[in-house]
Amino acid sequence: MANITADKEKTAAAGFNRPLRLTVTEDLRGFIAVKVGHSLLFLTTFVSVVAVFLIFFFVIKEAIPFLFKGGLSEFWARMSEFSTSLNWYPHNEEHPEFGALTIFVASLYVTVCSLLIAVPVGLLAAIFLSDIAPFGLRQVCKPVIEILAAIPSVAYGVFAVMVVAPWMQNKLGFSTGTNVLNASLILSLMALPTIISVAEDALSAIGREIREASYGLGATRAETMIKVVLPAAHSGIIAAVILGMMRAIGETMVVWMASGQSAQIPSPWWDLSQSVRTMTGTIAQEMGEVAKDTDPYYVLFAIGVVLLIFTFILNMISEFFMSRFKKTVRGH
């Protein structure tokens, strides 16, 4: 040990003994090294950008043969069939139909239902964690939320199929255990951690002063939270809800396993005990069955494009609200 320090001192001393001015080659070498290193680092970072573009490019590229097969009129016909028809029979040999409306509606159903459960519970839990719970309890709850977020979606899917579905069928008397309600329940469990952590960050970012001012005016805690803190943090909370929504709409395994995989819109519309088939579930289910470079193959990529664009827009909206929220907080 002593030896090494002695060595280091020696080299360091040797370095200090040299004149400070660099020779031209040394200067150039240093300049090039910095520039090259800098651009290498930049290129590495740029991989993320390239990846996003590649994802968009390749998913859209595989969807194009479905959309632009014939002329323009056929394009419109296909688009209108894809987005408005209820008949999803891509495997019909003679007369295949690609009406994906049922699939979009099913995704909407599952997402909205899961948010109906996850948002109130998540918000209340976030309020509890940021304002009500003592420090020690918060330290216990954090890992619980993390574990809830960490459990793989396929494990939740297995839970839905093997525990929840039989329970629904036997105890609740549903005709099928894998249905909208089942998928939504599990999805809400998966969206909860996202909503809670983002909403709690938003609530904590709102300063003490605002709360204290409210208490000073005689408001109770509930009034302070609902009338003062929540409105102040609304941008952050909207961002939290949108992030939870993205989690729910993009989730595949749970929905694939728990929603029952039958392409239909529940009728009557409030009957949640019926099976549906979502965008993600359709892709996962049928990609293994279709032959490559056929229309059923391309149409799955078309659904993927819809999914991608949808989450992209949601992402942009949440970014917008997040940045607005940051501005608000800085403003205080």
Partner 1 sequence: MRIQIRQTWNHLFTVFSSMSVVLMVAALLLFLVPMLGKGMSAVFFRGTVEFRKMQHDLYGLGSESTLQKEIAATQAARDDIYAIFDRFSRGIDTDLLAGEAKRLYRDHGDELRYQNVPKDEYTALRKQAKGIRNHLMDAFESVDKAEIFEHLDAVEAFKSDASLKGTSVEKLIAMAADYRNIAETVDFSKRADYAEELDAVEEELFRLFGPRPGVERALAMESYGATRWDVVQKHLHQLVWQESWVLSEDGQQMVQKQVRRDDPKEGSFAGTQLAPMFALVEETVSETLRPRRTFYWRYFVQDSTPGHYFGGVGPEILGTLLLTVLAMCFAVPLGVISAAYLVEYAGENWVIKIIRVCINTLAGVPSIVYGLFGLAFFVEYVTAKQKCITSASMTLALLVLPVIIRASEEAIRAVPRTYREAAMGLGAGKFRTFATVTLPAAGPGILTGIILSLSRAAGETAPILFAGAVALGPIPDFAGKWWFQPTRALSYGCHDITVGDKLAMMVPHNQYGMVMTLILLVLCLNIVAIVIRSRMSKKLRGY
Please choose, from the candidates 262, 253, 288, 245, the residue with its C-alpha nearest in 3D space to the C-alpha of residue 159: 253
- Cβ proximity to partner 1: between 71 and 288 the closer is 288
In the complex, minimum distance from the CB of residue 204 to partner 1, in angstroms, rounded to a whole number: 15
Of the two residues 72 and 291, which places its CB atom closer to partner 1 in the complex?
A: 291
Q: Given the complex with partner 1, which of 9 and 271 has the nearer CB atom?
A: 9
Least Cβ distance, residue 66 to partner 1 (angstroms): 13
Q: How far is the CB of 13 from partner 1 (least distance, A)?
A: 13
Residue 122 makes CB contacts below 8 A (sequence gap 6+) with 191, 192, 195, 196, 199, 240, 244
Min separation Cβ 44 and partner 1, Å: 4
Q: How far is the CB of 151 from partner 1 (least distance, A)?
A: 6
CA dist., res. 203 & res. 271, Å (int) = 36
User: Would you say 43 or 77 has its CB closer to partner 1?
Assistant: 43
C-alpha of 137 from chain center: 28
Cα distances from 12 to residues 6, 9, 30, 75, 159, in angstroms, run 10, 5, 19, 73, 63
32 vs 144, beta carbon nearer partner 1: 144
> 3 or 48: whose CB is closer to partner 1?
48
The nearest distance, CB 175 to partner 1, in angstroms, is 18
Angle subtended by helix axes 295-331 and 279-287, to nearest 10: 140
To partner 1, the closest distance from the beta carbon of 71 in angstroms equals 26
C-alpha of 168 from chain center: 28
Q: Which two tokens stand for residue 25?
A: 């080659």
Residues 6 or more apart whose Cβ sits within 8 Å of residue 220: none
SS3 97: strand
Return the number of the residue (40 or 77) whose C-beta is nearest partner 1. 40
Q: Which CB, 195 or 232, lies closer to partner 1?
A: 195
Where residue 260 falls (left for φ over 0; alpha for ψ -120 to 50; beta otherwise) is: left
**Shortest separation between residue 273's beta carbon and partner 1, angstroms:** 19
Using alpha carbons, list the distances in angstroms from residue 35 to 30, 41, 180.
9, 10, 56
Provide the phi-psi class of 81: left if phi over 0, else alpha when psi is between -120 and 50, else beta.
alpha
